[in-house]
Amino acid sequence: MSGQSTASDPPDRSAEPFTYNGGRVDPGESTNIRYGISETYLGDPVKIPVTIVNGQHPGPTVFLSAAAHGDELNGIEVVREVAHDWDHTDLYGTLVCLPVMNVPGFLAQERYLPIYDRDLNRSFPGREGSTSARRMAHRIYTNFIEPCDLGIDFHTSTRGRTNMLHVRANVDDPEVARLAKAFSSNVIIAGEGAAGTLRREASEDGIPTITVEMGEAHRFQRRLIDRALTGVASVLAEFGCHRDSSVHWPGWRTVIDDDNEKTWLRADAGGLVDMKRSRGALVQEGDVICTITNPFKEEDEVVSVEAPFTGLIVGVLENPVVYPGNPLCHLVGLAAETKLALERERTTERSRSDL
């Protein structure tokens, strides 16, 4: 538990310690904590890993959190690399790194808390004396979220689907919008988020917070992780934490709001899906996105699913089986200039798998 020094020079006098219930981390120190948020059926503690990196210099306190859904792994690696592989010698401010918030779900490799299948990411800010999920959320929130000035919560698509890397944020709040843009994703989906999500509750509490969606559950996807690390570096530059870094411009950006056409295309037939397009693909109206066939591949039974409008595939099915009504892909319409910028980019060497 004792802190490791992040640098040899003495810290600025104006830099402040980070305190939580049970401890403190002084400026210029980095500490790994296993913090108890609940107890198991055996009465043993349920502890979440937390790393606090308190810089030598004063600055904002930023949280980076992942695995609120226990099987969404990409963000864990992003948070770990920032906490343990980056050089924070000249950090202005404090990083609160929460790589695995939903420890019971993580151990079971499940999205929800395995206790009555509660969703930790609908339980914030939590409450003492309430359900097990809300008590856990409360312990996390009061100790490690409330002391922060801004935050990034990492997610992936639900199991069986994949997302291109994008930000979800309530861009009507100027500070949230600043954070969302600083992360430098190509796509920002506007919206306040569901009640009980970390990003909505923290943002409403005056702690601007965004969600980053990236890839699929149960995987470490290296290119997406690298892309997200670029986003974190860009945010730390924008908010003055890493003064030698610069804010990254993603080349093109679209903010998807209520004015954009967008839809989850759903299957109208049950069967096996032959997906023709991947996440990040630009499709033209009428393009075939996938076909659905029965086990006999009977030609007159093939259902062809076409794009109802020209747009970008933000999320797409990976597991190739559907019931009628199951989602096939998340398609969003784009403004003309965004379409042009995207087409230009696609003619260069950059591959879609970066998205």
For residues 234 and 29, what is the distance between their CA atoms, to the nearest angstrom?
Answer: 23
Q: Which stretch binds Zn ion (CB under 5 A): 10-18, 66-74, 218-226, 332-340?
A: 66-74
Residue with tokens 């990254």: 248
Q: How far apart are the first and last CA of the chain?
A: 38
Nearest to 113 by CA among 132, 99, 139: 132
* Minimum distance from residue 62 beta carbon to Zn ion (Å): 20
- Residue 161 as a binder of Zn ion (CB under 5 A): the answer is no
Beta carbon of residue 226, minimum distance to Zn ion (angstroms, whole number): 20
- CA dihedral angle for residue 135, residue 140, residue 146, residue 149, rounded to 10 degrees: -150
What is the CA 25 to chain-centroid distance, rounded?
A: 26
DSSP-assigned letter for residue 68: S
Q: Which one of 9-17, 152-160, 241-249, 256-264 is the stretch in contact with Zn ion (CB under 5 A)?
A: 152-160
The amino acid at 96: V
Among residues 169, 213, 211, the alpha carbon closest in space to that of 192 is found at 169
Query: Does the protein bind Zn ion through residue 200 (CB under 5 A)?
Result: no
* Integer angstrom CA distances of residue 96 from 118, 144, 287: 25, 7, 45
Nearer to Zn ion, 120 or 176 (CB): 120
Instruction: Please provide residue 119's backbone torsions phi and psi, each rounded to the nearest 5 degrees.
Output: -95, 110
CB of 323 to Zn ion, least distance (A): 22
Query: Least CB distance from residue 280 to Zn ion, whole Å?
Result: 19
Rounded Cα distance between 325 and 28, Å, is 54
| Closer of 68 and 282 to Zn ion (Cβ) | 68
Nearest distance, CB of residue 161 and Zn ion, angstroms: 11
Smallest distance, Zn ion to C-beta of residue 142, A: 22
Closer CB to Zn ion, 94 or 197, in the complex: 197
- Which listed range, 33-41, 101-109, 155-163, 172-180, lies at the site for Zn ion (CB under 5 A)? 155-163
Q: How far is the CB of 69 from Zn ion (least distance, A)?
A: 4
Q: How many residues bind Zn ion (CB under 5 A)?
A: 3
Q: Which helix (H) or strand (E) holds 198?
A: helix 198-204
* Binding range to Zn ion, per CB under 5 A, among 64-72, 146-154, 304-312, 320-328: 64-72
Nearer to Zn ion, 225 or 307 (CB): 225
- Which residue among 57, 69, 122, 181 contacts Zn ion (CB under 5 A)? 69
Pick 135 or 155: Cβ nearer Zn ion: 155
Distance, CA of 19 to CA of 34 (rounded, Å): 15
Per DSSP, what are the bridge partners of residue 38?
46
The yes or no reply on residue 155 touching Zn ion (CB under 5 A) is: yes
List interacting residues with Zn ion (CB under 5 A): 69, 72, 155
